[in-house]
Amino acid sequence: AQANITSVGNLSSLCVTGDTVVGAGLDVRGTVIFNEGGGDYDVRMEGDTDANLFYLDASTDRIGVGTATPDYLFSVAGNAGFDEYLYHNGDNDTAIRFQADIIDLRAGNWSMVKIDQDNGKVTVNNSNQNVDFRVNSDDGTQLIRTDAANNRVGIGTGSPSHLLDVEGV
């Protein structure tokens, strides 16, 4: 590989021709491609106190933030912040929505579980859809079952026939 070191004022950059490009104080305009040849060349960016603030592991095709050993395509070792939505890829109406003291779990744009700390409520079926709710035991038996279409609750039954249907008492 051939290296060229350029210095302008107190900024310097290092460009290694071949498969690797490293720069410090480098002003690049346009598209920058690292590792276009697809070699096993990792990229690591250090922070003030974190040696692996950003780590691209070429051999596993994974990116780590705060870790040099990412477990998934994108791994964050530490806290991550999101302003409002965390979406399921390709499905823009399925998400977790964060608001001030509220978490809303949405599927098909239906609010399935909403936790509202300010009002002290956890609401299931917050969108008022025909969605049943059930609680199973460790052997799969339905302990509690709601029938949203008929406004019924069953305990010990999967088919409540009254407003409150308790079986096995």
Count Cβ neighbours within 10 Å for each residue of 46-58 and write b for 16 or more, e otherwise.
eeeeeebeebbbe
Alpha-carbon Rg for the chain, nearest whole angstrom, is 27
pLDDT digits (tens, 9 = 90+) for 79-109: 999 999 999 999 999 999 999 999 999 999 9
The whole-number pLDDT of residue 116 equals 96
The model carries a pTM of 0.69
3-state SS assignment for residue 33 = coil
The partner residues of 146 in beta bridges, in order of sequence, read 153
- Residue in the structure block whose two tokens are 């806290």: 79
Q: What is the residue type of 50?
A: D
Q: Could you give phi then psi for residue 165, rounded to 5 degrees?
A: -120, 115
